[in-house]
Structure 1
Amino acid sequence: MLNISIFKRVVIILVVVTGLAYAMPNLFYPRVETHNDAVTAIEQAGGEATPELAADRSAWPGWLPSNLVNLGLDLRGGAHLLAEVQVEDVYKQRMDSIWQEVFPVLRDARDIVGTIRRVPTEDGTLRVKIGDTTHIDDAAQLVRALATPVVTITGTGSTNFTVDVEGDEIVVALSEAEKLATDDRTIQQSLEIIRRRVDEVGTREPTIQRQGEDRILIQVPGLGSADELKALIGTTAQLTFQPVVSRTTNPDQAPGPNNVLYPSVDEEGVYYVLEDVPVVTGEDLVDAQPSFDTNGRPAVNFRFNPHGARLFGDYTAENVGSPFAIVLDSEVISAPRINEHIPGGSGIITGNFTVEESTNLAVLLRAGALPAEMTFLEERTIGPELGADSIAAGEIASLVAFAGVLVFMALSYGWFGMIANVALILNVAMLFGLLSAIGATLTLPGIAGIVLTIGMAVDANVLVFERIREELKNKRGPARAIDLGYEKALSAIIDANITTFLTAGILFIMGSGPVRGFAVTLGLGLITSVFTAIFVTRLMVVIWFERRRPKTLEV
């Protein structure tokens, strides 16, 4: 019999009302966006709200849903960058870390190798010159024992480095498997650090993804220009704490073996000769916050993890009275003298900062250092006017599709077509509610997915109504015809939508960028279409039938 229990009716109505409630904020996009930004700013300020932030927060009632469909780069405008990561930069760092392992082993074997000296190279290898070559093969074997297996998807195929003997030198080089693994780690680390840096400034739904072997695509909607984005992510923010050897005004002075020459940021024309190997690096930082020094000038407070705190404390205890350079991206930003032992692993970076510079430096240090330099191959700034044109074009396409479907259904199925039209409107509203609830990003291809959803949404209703027509031709009564129409059309509806949903799933898994945006709206549109066709239209037909009790039906 044609009947729906009270419980099912309540559940269907609640689902529809919830979807409409989540979709409603998109009708007041600027107000809700202002409210959300104010709420985020107040949370970051520890709950303290200025009068301006309090006024912005009150632009939208706090008890209503405030999730919005985020607009993508092509709709909102913003910055687009394609960066190439210089993965070769990491090889030198790997050689430095391997040298820290090799030196103690060879030092303990000086009775057979004699003197030990690292030879500077430009080919990405580690060359160690041995004083006594009589047992150089034995020394090479000691170094070779330090190598560890590299685990890949095909299994453990090789060690992380190879060791050869050339004359009186032991040559250590990264294996091809280790280079591949290092490249992959470098790209993944760069992706994560860029994402953290961009998220720190509160941007909405950035697109940060790997392209090819060593490239990263970065798209940030709402950002003013590509230069702003480059300023945010283009700095490696490699922080190190290095011992000072000497101070000079000669930029051409040779720093000597195992030393480097870096310029001073604050002291014009001054250069510092530093030991090449840092005592502590920014990798041991756990926190960095903008602050002010004792003279009221902007500065940055930092704190190390236990490992960094121990190294920092031990060095300051052993070198009281010596200068200690704080280096950021190969520039000495401060070179204070160690006046006393500094336990606890915390300190302050001072310099000629503005408040904005100290804040940005703290953001970069918290996010971590990029493992390698990036070269920007492509940069574009997409203005909001272009996004507005895209939105207008999408609106026109959606309205045309919407109007065409509404007219067709009304002319083809009469009153039942009008019911399907109401369900179609609810379907689109619930689709936007679902997109808002999950925080999806709407792009121009996503609008295409919505237009396609509108066209496909009535397919299920067409199957049901045609089936009802057939049952009426077979002399079924109105109630029985409606009941059988929904029952017999159900399998075809489920089959058709499952196959399309699988296609959308494959597009989402295998595709990227615009293709994913299309797949998301298409897949979610299928879910709302099936719900409205099977449950909402049936509930509307049942309520109408219970009130009118027609003797005949015209579909």
Structure 2
Amino acid sequence: MLVYGRSKYILALLVLLLSALYSLPNLYPQDPSVQVTANRGSQVDQAFRQRVEDMLKTAGIAPKQVELQKGGELLVRLVTPDAQIKAADVLRQAIGNNYVVALNLASTVPDWLRAIGARPMLLGLDLQGGVHFLMQVDQKAALEKRFESYAEDIRVLLRENRVLYEAVERRPDNSIVVTLAPKVDPGTAQGLIAKNLPNLSNDLVGNTIVVRVPDAELQRITTDAIEQNVGTLRNRINELGVAEPVIQRQGTDRVVVELPGVQDTAQAKRILGATATLEYRGVVEGNAYDAVASGNVPPEARVFYRKELGPDGKPVPVLLNKRVIASGDQLVGATSGYDSQSGTPMVSVTLNGVGGQRMFDFTSQNVGKPMAVVYIERIPEVTKVDGKEVRTTRTSEQVISVATIQGVFGKQFQTTGLESPKEAADLALLLRAGALAAPMDFVEERIVGPSLGAENIQRGMEAVGYSFLFALVFFLFYYRMFGVITCVALLLNLLIVLAILSVMGATMTLPGLAGIALTVGMSVDANVLINERIREDLRLGLPPLSAISEGYKRATGTIVDANMTTILAGVALFAFGTGPVKGFAVTLIVGIVTSMYTAVSVSRGIAALIYGRRRKLQSISI
């Protein structure tokens, strides 16, 4: 009567083996390390690796290992955190601004485990700590960007209303001077500006209009820039898949970012601080070489340079229209891939309504003419002046593609001309996350310890351990042989929970540990129901085998009903909670589902294995 199918035994054995396999990476510690990644145009190769080894040797630092990874990164593994910080300082000073140097905790999980997708469970800032970045917003660049936007808005406004003008220029005193053409009524232009840009003040001086930005508006611009950057950083971190990050504003122009369990901190640092974006511009007819040599650039044009070098080994100039057709600010979607015709990396772009309409209007009027794609990147640099570090930002503008418009298109199209699939993927990520309102520089970077402190973490671990130990001791003394069965089921339950959380890439925090402790209690509750049902049937005079079978059968429905209500509560916590509450909900849901399987199915299989073949069983140890 106590029957447990062979297929169920096979399933239980398979679950046990897979759980043990995917829990195994959690036994491997992490190495403190320094990761070096090349910026656009630089290269990490064997020669660079040898150069880094020589730098470390000269500084008296003995690395554990220096690895040249497949993604074009260099990973320097070190023995202690002190050596890690010292090595990072040495490399930053020696290799300059062409490389990103980031602190990292490198995995030591064997390649064969990584090949099957096994990875260690991530720990949150409260348990493990993580990487701390202090970033400073370049407020001057934010103002310059906004003034350029105001100037372009004025140009478009005057053109659309057929008001002729000679120049719209920004002055160093935070003003924009609009020089109108002769015989133009300045009052008309002044009225248009006042109506469409009411937050700006303007004064009429002869044939020119001086547009000024009030101090309150300047303050709002810088405040909005910081707020927008915080939102953009949050989007970028979400794209990186980092769980439980800390992103908060500090002071008037700084942002603190703390990332737990990041495996590729160099990529995180590169993505967080990058201001790469795209601009689409029309090509102006004319000889760019002559314009550069003579200085006679057409008034509607600007000189840009292509990323490819010409026959003379110098960048190739190209004349592009000052007016931007569409920019990264107008993108609503971007995915990386390969061009179906050329097989080169590309980014598939989707514009918003305004950008799509402008692109449609331009391509409708310029079929058969060339259009250029400009890759813009603002690169922070650190130079020493009189022994002090001075932080500046260099803007790199390269024409990555010039193509003839073959037909009319609007919102959706492809951008090619990128150097590598990684560059295409990073650019797509940046475009999806949104542009930074102003460049940001890394003022400080360090590895931070657990926020709860070693003593609190130790107490949390002990609480989980003691809750499990108390349950085992109670069952061993109170239910005897069935106590042993319950203990085995509990051990398997914890193993399955650890494996599932590792595969999910969940971040374990102290509330998550509380969730695991609670699932141990829920699993114990299920086994108490089963064992008490068996005892009750034995007191009613049922044979031992019948009592075991009926006990499991009658308790299963009650266990499922009780646990389903708790699962629904966990789903609500996950749906409406944030941060640690979500971590608690995830471990709670996973733990309850696995505890139902181990308490009802696995423990019955063990009981059947012990008692099922004994036909004349007179008593059981319970």
Match of 1:152 in 2: none
- Deviation larger for 85-94 or 486-495: 85-94
Residue 397 (1) aligns with residue 463 (2): yes
Match of 1:491 in 2: 557
Q: Which structure 2 residues correspond to residues 42-191 of structure 1 after superposition, within 5 A?
A: 42-45=69-72, 66-80=118-132, 93=145, 96-97=148-149, 99-100=151-152, 102-107=154-159, 109-110=161-162, 113=163, 115=165, 118=168, 132-133=185-186, 135=188, 139=192, 187-191=230-234
Q: 1:420 to 1:163 in 2, by over 3 A?
A: same
Match of 1:414 in 2: 480
Match of 2:99 in 1: none
After TM superposition, give the deviation of residue 238 of structure 1 in Å. Answer: 5.8
After TM superposition, give the deviation of residue 481 of structure 1 in Å. Answer: 2.1
Residue 428 (1) aligns with residue 494 (2): yes
After TM superposition, give the deviation of residue 413 of structure 1 in Å. Answer: 1.2
Residues 217-266 of structure 1, C-alpha deviations (whole Å, 9 max, x = no match):
532337999xx9997577454679999x99xxxxxxxxxxxx9xxxxxxx
Tell me how far apart the structure 2 counterparts of residues 79 and 502 of structure 1 sit (CA, whole Å).
35
Describe the SS at the equivalent of 2:555.
helix
Describe the SS at the equivalent of 1:548.
coil
Tell me how far apart the structure 2 counterparts of residues 373 and 19 of structure 1 sit (CA, whole Å).
46
Q: 1:500 to 1:126 in 2, by over 3 A?
A: farther
Normalised TM-score (structure 2): 0.54
Tell me how far apart the structure 2 counterparts of residues 459 and 305 of structure 1 sit (CA, whole Å).
54
Q: 1:237 to 1:397 in 2, by over 3 A?
A: same
Kindly report the root-mean-square deviation, in angstroms, between the aligned alpha carbons of the 2 structures: 6.1
Match of 1:298 in 2: none
Contact 1:191 1:216 in 2 (8 A): no
Residues 360-384 of structure 1, C-alpha deviations (whole Å, 9 max, x = no match):
9999978645333569999985237
Q: 1:361 to 1:25 in 2, by over 3 A?
A: closer
Describe the SS at the equivalent of 1:218.
strand
Match of 2:16 in 1: 16
Tell me how far apart the structure 2 counterparts of residues 412 and 140 of structure 1 sit (CA, whole Å).
86
Contact 1:207 1:217 in 2 (8 A): no
Tell me how far apart the structure 2 counterparts of residues 116 and 540 of structure 1 sit (CA, whole Å).
90
Tell me how far apart the structure 1 counterparts of residues 557 and 136 of structure 2 sit (CA, whole Å).
50
After TM superposition, give the deviation of residue 536 of structure 1 in Å. Answer: 0.6
Q: 1:552 to 1:432 in 2, by over 3 A?
A: same
After TM superposition, give the deviation of residue 472 of structure 1 in Å. Answer: 2.1
Describe the SS at the equivalent of 1:458.
helix
Contact 1:87 1:186 in 2 (8 A): no
Q: 1:398 to 1:240 in 2, by over 3 A?
A: closer
Contact 2:122 2:507 in 1 (8 A): yes
Residue 546 (1) aligns with residue 604 (2): no
Contact 1:118 1:126 in 2 (8 A): yes
Q: 1:484 to 1:474 in 2, by over 3 A?
A: same
After TM superposition, give the deviation of residue 422 of structure 1 in Å. Answer: 0.8
Tell me how far apart the structure 1 counterparts of residues 535 and 578 of structure 2 sit (CA, whole Å).
44
The one-letter code sitting in structure 2 at the alignment partner of 1:528 is: T
The one-letter code sitting in structure 2 at the alignment partner of 1:468 is: I
After TM superposition, give the deviation of residue 414 of structure 1 in Å. Answer: 1.4
Tell me how far apart the structure 2 counterparts of residues 304 and 11 of structure 1 sit (CA, whole Å).
45
Q: 1:505 to 1:348 in 2, by over 3 A?
A: closer
Describe the SS at the equivalent of 2:127.
helix
Contact 1:25 1:65 in 2 (8 A): no
Describe the SS at the equivalent of 2:480.
helix
Residues 38-79 of structure 1, C-alpha deviations (whole Å, 9 max, x = no match):
9x9754259xxxxxxxxx786756776632212222333323
In the alignment of these two chains, the number of paired residues is 453
Tell me how far apart the structure 2 counterparts of residues 482 and 218 of structure 1 sit (CA, whole Å).
53
Residues 373-411 of structure 1, C-alpha deviations (whole Å, 9 max, x = no match):
569999985237987666644443332222111010111
Q: 1:523 to 1:41 in 2, by over 3 A?
A: farther
Contact 1:78 1:223 in 2 (8 A): no
Normalised TM-score (structure 1): 0.60
Residue of structure 1 aligned with 2:258, choices 209, 214, 218: 218
Q: 1:41 to 1:418 in 2, by over 3 A?
A: farther
Tell me how far apart the structure 2 counterparts of residues 509 and 96 of structure 1 sit (CA, whole Å).
42
Match of 1:507 in 2: 573
Tell me how far apart the structure 1 counterparts of residues 607 and 173 of structure 2 sit (CA, whole Å).
77
State the percentage of identical aligned residues: 30
Structure 2 spans left out of the alignment, 5+ residues: 34-64, 74-107, 282-287, 293-301, 303-319, 336-344, 350-358, 360-365, 381-391, 404-414
Residue of structure 1 aligned with 2:584, choices 506, 518, 522: 518
The one-letter code sitting in structure 2 at the alignment partner of 1:498 is: M
Describe the SS at the equivalent of 2:258.
strand
After TM superposition, give the deviation of residue 421 of structure 1 in Å. Answer: 0.7
Contact 1:442 1:517 in 2 (8 A): yes
Tell me how far apart the structure 1 counterparts of residues 573 and 134 of structure 2 sit (CA, whole Å).
23
- Deviation larger for 125-134 or 67-76: 125-134
The one-letter code sitting in structure 1 at the alignment partner of 2:618 is: K
Q: 1:108 to 1:506 in 2, by over 3 A?
A: closer
Contact 2:169 2:176 in 1 (8 A): yes
After TM superposition, give the deviation of residue 468 of structure 1 in Å. Answer: 1.8
Residue 456 (1) aligns with residue 522 (2): yes
After TM superposition, give the deviation of residue 86 of structure 1 in Å. Answer: 9.3
After TM superposition, give the deviation of residue 516 of structure 1 in Å. Answer: 2.3
Match of 2:236 in 1: 193
Tell me how far apart the structure 2 counterparts of residues 139 and 404 of structure 1 sit (CA, whole Å).
79
The one-letter code sitting in structure 2 at the alignment partner of 1:68 is: P
The one-letter code sitting in structure 1 at the alignment partner of 2:259 is: Q
Tell me how far apart the structure 2 counterparts of residues 327 and 374 of structure 1 sit (CA, whole Å).
9
Residue of structure 2 aligned with 1:532, choices 598, 601, 611: 598
After TM superposition, give the deviation of residue 118 of structure 1 in Å. Answer: 4.8
The one-letter code sitting in structure 1 at the alignment partner of 2:232 is: Q
Q: Which structure 2 residues correspond to residues 336-355 of structure 1 after superposition, within 5 A?
A: 343=402
Describe the SS at the equivalent of 2:126.
helix
The one-letter code sitting in structure 2 at the alignment partner of 1:132 is: D
Describe the SS at the equivalent of 1:516.
helix
Tell me how far apart the structure 1 counterparts of residues 347 and 504 of structure 2 sit (CA, whole Å).
37
After TM superposition, give the deviation of residue 531 of structure 1 in Å. Answer: 0.8
